[in-house]
Chain A
Amino acid sequence: MANPLLTVEDLNITFPGAHGVNHAVRGVSFTIGHEKVGIVGESGSGKSQTGRAILKLNPAFARMEVGKLEFAGCDLKAASERQMRRIRGNRISMILQDPKFSLNPLMRIGAQIMEAYRLHHRTRIAEARQRTLAMLEAVQIREPERVFNLYPHEVSGGMGQRIMIAMMLIPEPELIIADEPTSALDVTVRRQVLGILDDLVSRRGTALMFISHDLNLVADFCDRVLVMYAGRIVEDLPARELHNARHPYTRGLLESLPRLDRPVELLKVPSRDPAWRDEPSIYRGVTP
């Protein structure tokens, strides 16, 4: 990757607390090109905070320090809140876990998607409506005209998440940050939603940052995987190499899953070593 789309260098996020400072992200550096990058880790590993930091959406009391934060030649580190607003949704968009909490319950679905489009593109309503219907069709909603006039509570979780995807993709962003976009969905629906996301992302050449706790899902879906532990990236490797992961933490996570093809009496519980926080990450199977 000669020219990465997104460059993050030395990102640190801390939260002040009654028992001292909580260091949520510790000096994380990575780049994302036009590819699907999975960030996996357990809760508290800092993966969601890392995703939010790119859009500067961390909670107000969090303190963020970053060496370099650059997106397509644009310095996000120095960007003002005003400039960030123009980037959010338009050039970088975010898909959250549960559509129930991300869609406005009092607005019709069509109106919400149209608003997302018109916020960043000055067009007539009729044209925005056309694009919205086309987008709903693109996320495989069978009767876009009908769904256009529904309220969020009238659709299922799977359809809600497809609507979220439509809403996030319609301004044609260059990077999508998806934070556990399918964890609230059933297994059969999950596949379908991921299929749609994959199709749209590959066709438009959009970069995707896919944050998840599900190793197998990420291995299946992404091109590259970053494994986070205690606010650090401990391993960075191509997704199809995941099963040859080197880091003991990645290996431990893989082995702790109950598997249908390999019944065991007791599952392996991954060990944790605080020293991993200070070691450099393993890059493509090579310890630097």
Chain B
Amino acid sequence: MALPQSHQDTSFRAWLEAPIPSSTLQARAQQLWIGWWRIRHNPSALFGLGVILLMVLAAVLAPLLATHDIYAQNLANRLSPPSSAHWLGTDELGRDIYSRLIHGSRITLYIAGLTALIAAPVGILVGTTAGYLGGWVDTVLMRIVDIFLAFPSLVLALAFVAALGPGIQNAIIAISLASWPPIARLARAETLSIRKSDYIAAIHLQGASSWRIIVSHIMPMCIPSVVVRITLNMASIILTAAGLGFLGLGAQPPSPEWGAMLSTGRQFMLNSWWIAAIPGCAILLASLAFNLFGDGLRDILDPRHG
């Protein structure tokens, strides 16, 4: 993280720590700086962040980091254990597991990120609207949420994928459909506690419309807890994606999705442990990292913590 220009670094730091900010941008940047300061003092969150950054880096630089073509089969060299030629061994078709794992992080992050981008806004919008307006709007919206919540998320995703056909895009849609309702619930609960507060009463007394209150006063207060929740949910999103891949309903072979890799490795587990164990560990590490980072984020972002 350290920048080489140390001189500029100090003046930038002075700008960040100036007691009196002189622009909106500086005020925002200072808040981020304080957040970063708090994360730095939270080792497990820092570890989570580190792993997530490594994953992002691996995904971005996948073509450079990969040592082999991920689709190139080499049946003469199938099921070979980790060695200097193949750092993490090869699978049943002789493909390099290390390279596939690196490329697989792209798919995992793509699914996790896109799901978050779909589920969070929908969940926030439904939850805050229901919570603030109350009455029949609340009843209708929350019953819809209840219907979605009544099914276990993997079963719901399975049903959608079965209807839409297997594939990554459909898996994302299915997982998003399963993950917005808990967010709506959370946003509604937050809204119910926020709507009674004095600052919402104050803006109401200034003549603001309900829409303005929801969008520019209630939503910003819900976003932190939703971000935390989504980050914590990332683990289960990754696991659901892997589960769908494992069941053959997510990413399709030969794509190097971790769940699909795990699924094929299952047949060779007794003799060639690495085929299943390595993608399994990757899934475990990724979900652990998101969980730890989410816990750290909660300490920073949750208004109740400061």
Contacts and interface: CB of A to CB of B under 8 A. Distances in A.
In-complex A–B contact (CB below 8 Å):
yes
Interface of A: 18-19
A146 to B, nearest CB: 33
Interface in B27-66: 33-34, 37-38
A19 B17 CA distance: 7
B121 to A, nearest CB: 31
A19 B20 CA distance: 12
Contacts of A18: 33-34, 37-38
Contacts of B17: 19
B8 to A, nearest CB: 21
A213 B34 CA distance: 31
A39 B38 CA distance: 33
B171 to A, nearest CB: 41
Interface string B90-128: 000000000000000000000000000000000000000
A71 B19 CA distance: 42
A18 B34 CA distance: 6
Interface of B: 17, 19, 33-34, 37-38
A19 B16 CA distance: 10
A144 B37 CA distance: 53
A256 B295 CA distance: 46
A19 B33 CA distance: 10
A128 to B, nearest CB: 37
Contacts of B37: 18
A19 B38 CA distance: 11
A118 to B, nearest CB: 34
6 contacts: A18-B33, A18-B34, A18-B37, A18-B38, A19-B17, A19-B19
Q: Which of B19, B33, B37 has the most CB of A within 10 A?
A: B37
A20 to B, nearest CB: 9
Nearest to B16: A18
A18 B30 CA distance: 10
Contacts of B38: 18
B42 to A, nearest CB: 12
A74 B38 CA distance: 38
Contacts of B34: 18
B45 to A, nearest CB: 16
A11 B19 CA distance: 28
A255 B19 CA distance: 32
Contacts of A19: 17, 19
Contacts of B19: 19
B12 to A, nearest CB: 16
Nearest to B35: A18
B77 to A, nearest CB: 54
Nearest to A19: B17
Nearest to B30: A18
A59 to B, nearest CB: 12
A18 B16 CA distance: 11
A259 B135 CA distance: 49
A101 to B, nearest CB: 15
A17 to B, nearest CB: 9
A160 to B, nearest CB: 23
A155 B94 CA distance: 75
- CB-based closest 6 A-B pairs: A18-B37, A18-B34, A19-B17, A18-B38, A18-B33, A19-B19
B46 to A, nearest CB: 16
A149 B33 CA distance: 52
A18 B38 CA distance: 8
A19 B34 CA distance: 8
Nearest to B33: A18
A126 to B, nearest CB: 43
A18 B32 CA distance: 11
A198 B126 CA distance: 56
A18 B13 CA distance: 12
A69 B33 CA distance: 38
Nearest to B36: A18
A102 B19 CA distance: 37
A204 to B, nearest CB: 40
A211 to B, nearest CB: 24
Nearest to A61: B41
B88 to A, nearest CB: 42
A87 B245 CA distance: 60
B15 to A, nearest CB: 14
A231 B120 CA distance: 45
A62 to B, nearest CB: 14
A18 B31 CA distance: 10
B43 to A, nearest CB: 15
A154 B163 CA distance: 56
Contacts of B33: 18
A120 B38 CA distance: 40
A73 B17 CA distance: 47
